[in-house]
Amino acid sequence: MNRVYTLAGGLLRGNSVENTLLILLLAIALFKLTFISPALAAETSNGAKIFEANCASCHIGGGNILISQKTLKKEALSKYLENYNSDSIKAIIHQVQNGKNAMPAFKDKLSPEEILEVAAYVFQNAEQGW
């Protein structure tokens, strides 16, 4: 039996059960790719991975286990980070690079690209309310 399955040409030859299964599998795949959760997409970003490996032990869920009012929520960042309101990403990058008080500096541990990625991740989550 000669069966051909192509998407581009729109040609399906075979029995109706095979065609139905193929169409069902394609529909499921398209649904999963089209409707991926933004939270899931954010959690799989490189910034999220860097945050989980380096920051989450103190800042889980955008909080702060050492100083409860100095969270990573927008209101707290605006209050505690110098220049946050004028250049949020730059202010977060400065904090990550240099640390302050109980927070260690990461400029010798993370590359400039990693610091930018984690800063973007923190900014995005702060804007969305963690």
* pLDDT tens digit sequence for 63-109: 999 999 999 999 999 999 999 999 999 999 999 999 999 999 999 99
Q: Could you tell me if 60 and 82 lie in one domain?
A: yes
For residue 7, give Cα distances in angstroms to 11, 16, 23: 7, 16, 10
According to the model, what pLDDT value does residue 20 have? 80
Whether the full predicted model's pTM is greater than 0.75, yes or no, is: no
Q: Could you tell me if 76 and 95 lie in one domain?
A: yes
* Residue (of 60, 62, 86) closest to 74 by Cα position: 62
Query: For 37-52, how does the pLDDT look when each residue is reduced to its tens digit (9 = 90+)?
Result: 555 554 459 999 999 9
The contacts of residue 64 (CB under 8 Å, 6+ apart) are 58, 70, 71, 72
Q: Could you tell me if 98 and 122 lie in one domain?
A: yes
Q: Could you tell me if 100 and 124 lie in one domain?
A: yes
Indicate the number of domains in the chain. 2
Q: Could you tell me if 100 and 70 lie in one domain?
A: yes
Domain residues for 74?
A: 39-128
Using CA atoms, how far apart are residues 84 and 130, in angstroms rounded to an integer?
17
Using CA atoms, how far apart are residues 5 and 21, in angstroms rounded to an integer?
12
